[in-house]
């Protein structure tokens, strides 16, 4: 158990629909990350939060994507007007510890299929 829960595990949607994913770390951690992983590729960074503040967005994050982290606890990632190219595994991760002891803990992800 990595201490981060992602819901739903799977999401099937039709092109053009909006979808929202949720990430719940087991406890509050100041840094929370979203990654996307497509088949045969490694995770690609999308965005991250320092507490409630969204500090960085990847160029992969088009204006159809929006992420929030109200109160610095759970986070949501919304994709509007989904496209087939959005089909991927969306991973949430948080950082625990500092310096030599720090590490990222990843959730199991939400698998999105856009038909």
Partner 1 sequence: AQSVTQLDSQVPVFEEAPVELRCNYSSSVSVYLFWYVQYPNQGLQLLLKYLSGSTLVKGINGFEAEFNKSQTSFHLRKPSVHISDTAEYFCAVSDRWAGGGADGLTFGKGTHLIIQP
Closest contact distance (angstroms) between CB of 59 and partner 1 is 12
**Toward partner 1, which CB reaches closer, 75 or 109?**
109
Q: Is 58 or 73 the residue whose CB approaches partner 1 more closely?
A: 58
Q: Among residues 13, 21, 6, which one has the least CA distance to residue 78?
A: 21
Residue closer to partner 1 (CB basis): 92 or 114: 92
Number of residues in the chain: 115
Residues that bind partner 1 (CB under 8 A): 2, 4, 30-31, 40-45, 48, 50, 56, 91, 93, 95, 97-100, 102-109
Cα 69 from chain centre: 11
CA distance to 9, 38, 92, per residue, from 89 (Å): 9, 6, 10
């Amino acid at each position: 158990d990595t201490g981060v829960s992602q819901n739903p595990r799977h999401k099937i949607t039709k092109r053009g629909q909006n979808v929202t994913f949720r990430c719940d770390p087991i406890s509050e951690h100041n840094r929370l990350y979203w990654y996307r992983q497509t088949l045969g590729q490694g995770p690609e960074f999308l965005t991250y939060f320092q507490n409630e503040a969204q500090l960085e967005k990847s160029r992969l994050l088009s204006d159809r994507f929006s992420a929030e982290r109200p109160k610095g606890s759970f986070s949501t990632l919304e994709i509007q007007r989904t496209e087939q190219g959005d089909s991927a595994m969306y991973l949430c991760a948080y950082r625990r510890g500092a310096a030599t002891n720090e590490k990222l803990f990843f959730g199991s992800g939400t698998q999105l299929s856009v038909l």
